[in-house]
A and B are shown apart, each in its own frame.
Chain A
Amino acid sequence: MKYAFSFLAVLALVLIAWLGSQIPGMQYLFGVAIPYLAIMIFLGGFVYRVVQWAKSPVPFSIPTTCGQGKSLDFIKQDKLDCPTKTSEVVARMFLEIFAFRSLFRNTKSELHEGPKITHESSRWLWIAALLFHYSFLVIAIRHMRLFLNPVPEWLQFLDFLDSGAMLQIGSPLLYASSLGLLGGVAFLFGRRLVNRNVRYISLANDYFPLFLIFAIAVTGMLMRYILRTDIDIISIKELLVGLVTLSPVINVKIGSIFYIHVFLVSALLVYFPFSKLMHAGGVFMSPTRNMANDSREKRHINPWNDPTIKPHSYAGYEDDFREFMVEAGLPVEKELPPKKDEE
C-alpha cells in the first residue's frame, strides 16, 4: 500500500494544478509564482544539504577498496578500485558519476535447496539506471530551447539527434529520450514491485519520485502529442523566456495540461533537496568514494580529536605504570631499575 499512497499524492498534485489553473487569475500563481519559489527552494535546499554534509567530519579514512591495494612492486595495483593518488580518485569518481560503476557490480543472491546460496551478476538495474538518468539529462537539456532566445546551434543539433534517433515518427517528432525515460521509470518501478527483496525495503519515499517523474513524462508527452488545445508553443516560450529574464507575462490562455506539467516539475524541484533524490549531490560527497586509500602513507587525523590530548605511546604507558605491572606479574619491555638500597 506504500505505492498507493505515493500514487494518490501525485494524483492530488495533478488535480490541484488542473482545477487551480482554471480559476481566473490563478495562472500567475501556477505559471510564475510557484515555479520561481520552486527553483529558489531547489537551489537553496541543495546548497544547504551540501554544506551540512561538508560540515560533518570524516573521523576515519574509509574508502571502499574493491581491488588490489598498492603493495610490493611486483603486485599489480588496481588503480581504479583501490586508488592511492588524487588523480586515481578523480578517475574513479568520474566513472562512478558518469557510468554508475558501482551499479555495474550489482549482484543477485538466491537461496536454493540444500540450502545453497548463489550469487550472480545482475546488470539490468545498471542498464535501466543509465537509460533513465541519461534520458532525463537529455530531456532537461533540450527543454532549454524553450528558455533560450536565440537558441544556440548545439541545442538544435541535440534536438535533431534525439528526434532523428526515432526516424521521424509522428508530428511533432517523437523523441528517443521520452521513450527512454518512460522505459527507465517503468523498469525502476517494476523492479520494486516484482523483486520481493527490494519490495520489502521500498518505502513511500521510494515510490513517490518514480510516480512523480512518470507523471511529468506523461503530461509532457500528452501536451506535445495529444492534448494540444491552446498549446501554442510561441506563447509558452514567451512565458518561459520571461521567467528566466525576470519579466514573465501570460498574455493568452494556455491549456491546463501545461500548468499541470509545470506544477509537477515544481513539486519535483521542491521535493528534490529533502529526499533521496539528493544522491545527485551525495555521490560527490560520499567519503567511501572520494577518499584515497593511502592510510599507510598519510595519517588521517580525526577532526574530532581534542588537540590538548597528546598521543600516548605504549612506551609512555609502561613508563607510567611499570611498577604496578611488575607487581601484578605482567610482562614489561623494560625492567624496573635496580633498587639502590639493596646494593
Chain B
Amino acid sequence: MPRVRARSIGADDVTHDVLIAPGFTKITRASAEEISVRRDEPAWLRERRLDAWRLYQSLDFPHESDEEWRRTDVRSMIFDAVRPLSASAPIASPAQLPAALRSAWDESEALAGRVVQQDSDVVYTQLADDLRARGVILTDLHKAAKEHPELVRRYLSSAVPAGEWKYVALNAALWSGGCFLFVPKDVEVALPLQLLTVVGAEGLAVFPRTIIVAEAGSRVAFIDETRSADGETKTFVSGVTEIYAGDGARVEYYSVNRWGHNVYNFNTARAIVGRDAQLVTMAAGIGGKMTKMRIDTSMPEPGASADLLGVTFGDGDQHFDYNTLQDHIGAHTKSDLQFKSAMTDSSSIVWYGITRIEPTASASEANQTSRNLLLSEHAKAAPIPILEIEAYDVLKCSHGATAGPVDENELFYLQARAIPRAVAERMLVEGFLADVVNRIPNAGLRERVMRAVLAKAGATPELGEDDVFEDDVFSDGGFR
C-alpha cells in the first residue's frame, strides 16, 4: 500500500475505498465502516462517518503560517504503526481493569456515576439510581445513538463540525466508545460524574468522543480523565468534546490529561453556553508526550459566563499547546481565563488565546491571564493573548501573560523565614499552581489534581495534611 504523506489531497482523489489516512498506514475508510458494522449502527450514523472520512481526505493540514499551528508542526508527525481499533470485553467492576490501569480508579471518590472506556470500548457504566429515575442519561455514545437517536443526531458534530480540521474529521469518522451525558431541565446532579479513558494497548489510535447536554436550569460537573502507562510505541489520540449548557444551567468540565509519555494527544472541546448559564472548564495537563488542545467557549446569549482554568506541569521533553477562544456574542457576557504552568527540564508550552467581543456583546467583561513558571533554563513558554474587540461598550477587557523563573523576592522572603531554598522553591511552585487548582469546587478532584501535579514536581504532597491541619487549628481551642 502506498504511504501517503501529509499533503493536500484533492477531492477528486477521494473516490476509492482503500485510500488511507496520511501518516496512518493502517487506517482506511474500511476502518470507519468496520466500526459502524461492529456496532450495528443506524444508516444515518454510518453515512455521517463516511462523510467525515471524505472530509478528512479532502482537508489540508494546517499550514505553518497559521498562527495557531506554527509552534506545533503536525505535518511532520507520522503515525504509521497505529491501529484504529481494538476490542475490549465489558467488565463487571473496575477491579477487573488491567493491573497497570487499576490505579486510575479511586474507589473512595464520591461520584454520582462513571463511565470507563478501555482502549476503543466503553467497558463499564454506572449511574446513581435516583438520577436515572429523574431522566439523566449517562451511557456510551453507540448505545445513545440507538436509544436516543433524536438527541444524538441533534448534538453530534453540532458544536464541533466534522470539517473543522483534519483530526476532528478523523474523529467524526472513527470515534469509538464515547460518552453521552444528558441532564434534563432543572435537574441538579450534586456529585461529579466521571469518564475515565484508559489505554492499555500500545500503538493504538484512540478517538474519544464526548457529548454533554445540560438542559435549562440543570447543574452538573463532569470529570474527563485519561490514563495510560508510559509505553514504547507511539499512541495517537484525537478527541472531541461537545458541551451544551442550556439557559441558566451550570456545567463544570474538568479535563485531566494523565496520558503516558508515548501519547500524542489532539483534543477539541467546545462549549455553547446559553442565556445566564455558567460554564467552568479546567484543562489539567500532566501527561502525554505532546498535547494540542483547543478549548472554545461560545456565548451566543446574554448573561452567560465562563471561567476557564488551566494548570500544566511539564517535564522531560513534553510539549503542550493550548488554543482557547472566549467568544462573546450576547450582551452582558463574562469570561475569565486563568492558565498557569510550571515547566521543567526541556518541556515547552504554548498558549494562544483569543478573546473576541462581537458587536452584539455590549457591556461584556473578559480577562485572560497566562502565567508560566520556568524551572529550568531549557524549559520554554510562549503565552500569546489576542484581543479582538468589535463592541463599543465593553465593561472590561484585560489580559496578562508572563513567563519566567521563580520570583527572587518571593524566594528571599521564604528563606528569610528560615525555610531552605529547595523547600521554598517547592512551596512557591505548589502555591503558584494551587492558586488555580483551588478554584476547582470539588474537593476530591482538587486534591487529586494537586497530588498528580506535585508528584511530578518531586514533592511529597502535604496538601491533605494542611487541610486537616487548618480544620484542626480552628475547630477547637480557638477564639471563635
Tell whether A and B belong to one assembly: no
Give chain B's interface residues, CB within 8 Å of chain A.
none
Question: Which residues of A come within 8 Å of B, CB atoms?
Answer: none
